[in-house]
Structure 1
Amino acid sequence: MSPGLFPRSEDGIRPAASDALSISVDGKTVDGLAGQTIAGVLLGSGRLAWRKTSSDGSPRGVFCGIGVCFDCIVEVNGIRDVRACQRRARDGDQVISQHDPLPEVTE
């Protein structure tokens, strides 16, 4: 059973079963459920970080979870700077971690 999920029989709302989906994250297949955000799929798989800061390479994942910050940005299907907490995962998505260097200062 995935973290954060519990048996449908114990859910008072009893939602319909969700369809399974798979996304590729940095070349590895990660399974999730239809309706989850990319961040949700990653967190459900046990991955807490998928980006590194530009300044010192510190790991980052979900911070705010509502699209205000930019800690969870990834590249999705060739589109950069996608907030993983805002983008619903679609079966077959190609997700790549972003590690952008700091811009060089020229004088």
Structure 2
Amino acid sequence: MVNQNSRFSWSDTGAADKTVNVIFEGQNCTVPEGVTVAAALLGHDDNHFCHSAAQGDKRAPYCLMGVCFECLVEIDGLKNRQACLEPVYEGMNVKRQQVEG
């Protein structure tokens, strides 16, 4: 089942034959096995993963190599995970990082 809220179609990219199902904000997303969470979610409907702690602005991946911390998400209940460094796996549950103040 492909996420209907995504503007990106993995089937158009020559993606890997194996896929995994990842849950993002309660919605099932079928993505190629081995990509990072950031790569899997970049085409999601509103392009943001978290909010800045300072002003609550929407944030999305920027550097994609673990330097900027703009892609923080909650993975399986663990907060402050960098989506650009975490490979997806079957059944992974990803949520937007919530601003705590």
TM-score bracket, normalised by the shorter chain, equals: 0.7 to 0.9
Deviation at 1:58, TM superposition (A): 1.0
Question: Does 1:60 pair with 2:59?
Answer: yes
* Residue matched to 2:33: 34
Bigger CA radius of gyration: 1
Structure 2, gaps ≥5 residues long: 1-7
User: Which amino acid in 1 is paired with 2:9?
Assistant: S
User: In angstroms, what is the RMSD of aligned CA positions?
Assistant: 2.2
Cα distance change on mapping 1:47 and 1:31 into 2, 3 Å:
farther
Q: Give the SS at the match of 1:41.
A: helix
State how many pairs are aligned. Answer: 94
Tell me which residue corresponds to 2:80. 81
When normalised by structure 1's length, the TM-score is: 0.75
The aligned runs of 1:4-23 (5 Å cut-off) are: 5-7=12-14, 17-23=16-22
Normalised to the residue count of structure 2, the TM-score between the two structures is: 0.79
Q: Give deviations 1:65-96, integer Å, cap 9, x for gaps.
A: 00011110111112111100000000100111
Note if contact 1:51-1:74 (Cα within 8 Å) is conserved in structure 2.
yes
1:13 maps to: none
* Identical-residue share of aligned pairs (%): 27
Tell me the equivalent position of 1:100. 99
